[in-house]
Amino acid sequence: MDFKGRPHYVIAVRDLKARKETENHIRYLALHDPLTSLPNRSYFNNRIDQEIQALGSGQSAASLCLDLDRF
């Protein structure tokens, strides 16, 4: 940037800590139940997809699901 006929450098610094904390909180809210803080169905679906992709040839996996409604 030229100022009064001489070149100058301009540096802008932003602290992104608050933004990253907010993004992490939003991600947590999207994947957990607000009342119990337990993982929700979206979290389960993402996790089961990861586990299936990580399976090697000839390997298998199992899942045990409990329904806690009216427990």
Per residue in 33-61, pLDDT (tens digit) is 999 999 999 999 999 999 999 998 889 98
Please tell me the distance from the alpha carbon of residue 9 to that of residue 67, in angstroms, as a whole number. Answer: 62
Q: What is the pLDDT of residue 48?
A: 92
29: in domain = yes
- Give me the percent of the chain exceeding a pLDDT of 70: 99
Confirm if 27 and 19 have CB atoms less than 8 A apart.
Answer: no
41: in domain = yes
5: in domain = no
Query: For residue 23, what are the domain limits?
Result: 16-54
What Rg value do the Cα atoms of the chain yield, rounded? 24
Q: Count of domains in the chain? A: 1
71, pLDDT greater than 80 = no
